Amino acid sequence: MIVYGFRSRNKVLGQVAYVCPQCHKNSYHTIVRSRRWFTLFFIPLFPFTKTSTSRCNICGVQTRIHNQQAEAYFEQPQQPQVISQPAAAPAPASQPAPQYPATPNYYNTDQSARF
Ligand SMILES: [Zn+2]
């Protein structure tokens, strides 16, 4: 027997202030992201719907809003990460790196070098 079903999960994205269409007051609205999950044996496996609602904090009226709009409310300004390197002084050139031979001499095949 396979037990499957659906489950909704809500997540508050944040608050946005604008004039409510119902009470006509400039109030904060709670933006809620609701996702429906397909569950198998009560374990949510994957989400298959995503809706966003806006709830007025004064009168409580809920309105559906576009997902893109809900995300645009709380989108962090995407600024390119500029890794500012401090003007580090270049490595001092007075001390050259020690020069190691590229290949050790152990494999020298020069016959005259053998004992
Ligand atoms: Zn309202």
Residue with tokens 């001390």: 95
Gap from CA of 49 to ligand 1 centroid (Å): 26
Domain residue limits, the chain: 13-73
pTM over 0.85: no
Q: How far apart are the first and last CA of the chain?
A: 83
Query: Residue 97 has what pLDDT?
Result: 65
For the stretch 28-40, pLDDT in tens is 999 999 999 999 9
Q: Which CATH architecture has domain 13-73?
A: Single Sheet (2.20)
- 54 CA distance to ligand 1 centroid (A)? 10
**Distance from residue 64's CA to the centre of ligand 1 (Å):** 14
Cβ burial 27-44 (10 Å sphere, 16+ → b, else e): bebbbbbebebeeeeeee
